[in-house]
Structure formats: structure tokens, C-alpha cells
């Protein structure tokens, strides 16, 4: 029987984590790929990359609005 890998032993790469978060931002992801991400990526890494990407998105919007309005 398959036992889930403990969270602290998951070995997903940084690029895989960024890809998973980017697909989550877009909202388009196949269920099979989602299940693979759950199995191999560390949730704490996903959270950190997600917060970082959200910050960059908001910063980009602020800069865009300042550029258009200025």
C-alpha cells in the first residue's frame, strides 16, 4: 500500500514549486498534475512562493497604475 511521504521529506524543486503556484494563479491545472504536486511538493514552500508571487503581482499592478496615471 502507498504510504504518503511526510511533509518534511518531500523533495520538489524550486522550479516545480513556482510552476505549481503559477498554474494556481491562472486557475488551469489538470487533476493528475495537481495530485503529483500534492505528493512531491512541500506545503510550506508552496505557501512561501505563493505569498511572494502575490506580493510581486500587487507590486506590478501598482507600478502599472502609476505609469498609466502619471
Q: What percent of the chain has pLDDT over 90?
A: 53
Residue boundaries of the structural domains of the chain: 12-69
Task: Estimate the crossing angle of helix 14-26 against helix 31-40, to 10 degrees.
Answer: 140
12, 39 Cβ separation under 8 angstroms: no
Could you tell me the pLDDT band of residue 29, with boundaries at 50, 70 and 90? confident
30, 55 Cβ separation under 8 angstroms: no
Model pTM? 0.74
* pLDDT for 1: 54
Q: How far apart are CA 47 and CA 53, in angstroms?
A: 10
Tens of pLDDT, residues 38-58: 889 999 999 999 999 999 999
Amino acid at each position: 500500500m502507498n504510504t504518503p511521504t511526510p511533509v518534511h521529506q518531500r523533495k520538489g524543486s524550486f522550479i516545480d514549486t513556482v510552476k505549481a503556484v503559477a498554474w494556481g494563479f491562472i486557475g488551469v491545472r489538470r487533476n493528475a498534475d495537481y495530485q503529483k504536486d500534492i505528493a512531491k511538493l512541500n506545503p510550506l514552500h508552496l505557501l512561501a512562493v505563493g505569498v511572494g508571487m502575490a506580493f510581486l503581482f500587487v507590486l506590478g499592478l501598482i507600478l502599472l497604475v502609476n505609469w498609466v496615471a502619471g
